[in-house]
Amino acid sequence: MAGKRLDEEAAERAFSAIMDGEVSPVRIAGFLTALKIRGETDEELRGAVRAVRGRMMALEGVPDGAIDVCGTGGDRLGTLNVSTAVAFVLAGLGVPVAKHGNRALSSRSGAVDVLAELGIASSSDSMRLGDALREDGIVFLDAAVHHPAMRHAGPVRRELGFRTLFNLVGPLCNPARVRRQMVGVFDPSWLGPIVTTLAGLGAESILAVHGETDRGGADEATLAGPTKLRFLYDGEMGEAVLRPEDGGLHRCSIDAISGGDPASNARALLSLLDGEAGAYRETVVLNAALALHVAGYGPVLERGAIHGDGLRRNMERARHAIDSGEAMVALRRARKRASDA
């Protein structure tokens, strides 16, 4: 409230106390609200990430090259689930995906909510989850399961209903400790800090994205306007701007991918993987193309500029995964493993 800032060590202590159940819900709410009003800092983010990572239930035996694609949430746009669909597309192309997600906290339908509608229930069996990633090429990691210490903050976040520093912390704490990651960010001012934080934790390929739409910022690449990118690739950091036209795509309002409750979002995702055309498909294809860059399947960025040919090649790979049925096969494998549990 006085406008003072916490250094990384002090922030880690504060968030550790929250994670360890030493702070009342009222004080957690006051702390998160004060941070938001004053404006969170890079050091506070790093301290919070260290506190959460130090208490997570990690996944072992993760294959090299595994990737996560997730968003921070908190953009208030209520869109269909893009990164969850991208995960199936990537798995259909043979990219191992350890998708980290949560139930809706500041939106109507989170990744875990939609997956439950698709018959892919959360699991706490680390051995089974590890087998899923190694054998099926895709696994879904429920943040509530792998971050049990977050239970002290979860109800407070839900009651507050607005984005907090935890929106940024969650995507940076993948239980599989992936070193390749694409993160959608609700606020462009956090693109750089997210990349530098992950780089400091040993990541080797990172892409942080923020789309500009006709109704505000999006935590994903969008057809509604330009998308700002910050990246770490081949040991170099940089930034770029991606426009839909770079991939031969037409712009459209963000309303074209408006979502609803988990059941309706799940139906839309199934229709997409069945080959349904439209803005949802093209948004997923665009985001998958960027994720393929992170996975090392084809460069989309060269010296801080968009490599148009590379982008379009990756988009065609993504379309092939859908049209060939391989993305749907990935979904069915995940569903079968969940039903066998």
Q: Quick: pLDDT tens for 273-310.
A: 999 999 999 999 999 999 999 999 999 998 889 999 99
pLDDT in the model for residue 247: 97
Q: Quick: pLDDT tens for 108-134.
A: 678 999 999 999 999 999 899 999 999
For 116, the domain range is: 67-147+156-340
What backbone phi and psi angles, to 5 degrees, belong to 240?
-160, 170
Does residue 301 belong to any structural domain of this protein? yes
pLDDT in the model for residue 107: 53
Total structural domains in the chain?
A: 1
pLDDT in the model for residue 192: 96
CA distance linking residue 190 with residue 132, whole number of Å:
32
Q: Is 54 a residue whose pLDDT tops 70? A: yes
CA distance linking residue 266 with residue 278, whole number of Å:
16
Does residue 42 belong to any structural domain of this protein? no
CA distance linking residue 296 with residue 9, whole number of Å:
35
Does residue 14 belong to any structural domain of this protein? no
Average confidence (pLDDT) over 52-58: 96
CA distance linking residue 248 with residue 223, whole number of Å:
11
Continuous segment of H or E residues that includes residue 32: helix 25-38
Does residue 59 belong to any structural domain of this protein? no
Whole-model pTM: value is 0.95
Q: Which residues contact 294 (CB under 8 A, 6 or more apart)?
A: 67, 180, 181, 182, 205, 206, 207, 233
Other beta carbons within 10 Å of 60: 11
- pLDDT grade, residue 105 (50/70/90)? low
Continuous segment of H or E residues that includes residue 85: helix 82-92
Q: What is the CATH number of the domain that holds 113?
A: 3.40.1030.10
Does residue 256 belong to any structural domain of this protein? yes
Other beta carbons within 10 Å of 146: 22
Does residue 17 belong to any structural domain of this protein? no
pLDDT in the model for residue 304: 84
Does residue 181 belong to any structural domain of this protein? yes
